[in-house]
Amino acid sequence: MSETLANAGSQGKMPVLRAKGIWKSYGRVAALRGVDIEVYPGEVLGLVGDNGAGKSTLIKCLTGAEYPDSGTISFEGEEVVFHGPLHAHQVGIETVHQTLGVAPQLDIASNLYLGREIRKKGILGAGLRMLDLSSMRRQAAQKVADLGIITIQDMTQAVETLSGGQRQAVAVARAAAFGSKVLILDEPTAALGVRESGQVHKLIGALRDRGLPIIFISHNMPILWELADRIQILRLGRRVAVATPGTSTMEEVVALMTGAKTMQEE
């Protein structure tokens, strides 16, 4: 068990995204109690924890969807305060949230480009603010095809007419297409079928090979063992350990998650 919080594989490198001592309370419930996290260039960081451990809240704090009560976040070595999700998008952090971030009645292309629509070139775009719908559709089809999602063909189809798995595929496709610096996936395959999950996992591996850092929340231990370089374990709003799949066993990680085993330094 690599129980050191200073991590073996990434020594000497600067984290792309790092948070220190994050606290966040909702009313009297403290969801995060001084949690730390850091993700290094080119790695997949698994994030595990029981229900209520604070995984989703931590992700929201990292992506501008929530403001932490205290603690600092630094991006590429510089301290930042994200003013909303758009700000995080602009620096290149993309997220697939647990609740699907898609508008069901809009079509697939509009959803992929929601909040970052492309305008036509020239006077139509600059003067009349006309959107380049055809090129957005074409590029959306390309991005979806790049993911190997073959069940979605028609980009003008409303998302609400898709199956749950296909909707999640749209959300993952959007994040993968625009996440240039960090990709955060909050249980992206929870609603997917076996084949679609496999495709998403394959994609995560391919994105890692390109050097894109990924934070990947999942309850699926075998998949984490296959994809993650390090696995951070949250319990009751704190980081209790960081494990490495090579040296730790799934049983150990589960024991830490549930509190059956505790770390000395905690």
Partner 1 sequence: MGEGVTQPSHISAIGVPEPLDADATEAAPQGWLFQLQRPLRSLQRLLHRHAALGPLLVLVLSAATFELLNHRFLYLEDVSLMLQQVTVVGSLAVGQTLIMLTAGIDLSIGALMIFVQMIMGELAINSGVPPFLALVIGLGFGALMGLANGALVARVRLPPFIVTLGTLGIFTALALRLSGGATLFFSNSTNMLLWTGTLVSLGSFNITTGVFLMLGLYLLFWYLLTWTAWGKHIYAVGDDVEASRLAGIRVRAVITSVYVVAGVIYGLAAWVQIGRVGSVSPDISTTLNLDSITAVVIGGTSLFGGRGVMMGTLFGALIVQVFNTGLELSGVNALYLPLAEGILVIFAVTLDHWIRAVRH
List the beta bridge partners of residue 99. none
Cα gap 126→140, rounded to integer Å: 22
Q: Where are the alpha helices (DSSP H) in the chain?
A: 55-62, 85-91, 108-112, 123-126, 133-146, 164-178, 194-209, 221-227, 250-258
Proportion of the chain in helix, strand, coil states, percent, rounded to 5? 35, 25, 40
Cα gap 54→110, rounded to integer Å: 31
**How many CA atoms lie within 13 Å of 227's alpha carbon, on the beta-carbon side?**
29
Query: Residue 9, interface with partner 1 (CB under 8 A)?
Result: no
Is the CB of 119 or the CB of 181 nearer to partner 1? 119
Query: Residue 35, interface with partner 1 (CB under 8 A)?
Result: no
Query: Residue 190, interface with partner 1 (CB under 8 A)?
Result: no
Least distance from partner 1 to the Cβ atom of residue 6, Å = 31
Site for partner 1 in 111-130 (CB under 8 A): 114-117, 119, 128-130
- Which segment (36-44, 95-103, 208-216, 254-262) binds partner 1 by CB under 8 A? 95-103
Least distance from partner 1 to the Cβ atom of residue 148, Å = 16
Cα gap 185→104, rounded to integer Å: 20
Please pick, from the candidates 1, 5, 30, 133, the single residue that binds partner 1 as defined by CB under 8 A: 133
- Draw the binding track, 143-182, toward partner 1 (x: CB under 8 A; -: no contact): --------------xx-xxxxxx-----------------
Cα gap 115→112, rounded to integer Å: 9
Please pick, from the candidates 95, 189, 199, 218, the single residue that binds partner 1 as defined by CB under 8 A: 95
Please pick, from the candidates 194, 210, 264, 265, the single residue that binds partner 1 as defined by CB under 8 A: 194
| 148 alpha carbon, distance to own chain's centre | 19
Is the CB of 2 or the CB of 95 nearer to partner 1? 95
Please pick, from the candidates 11, 29, 222, 265, the single residue that binds partner 1 as defined by CB under 8 A: 222
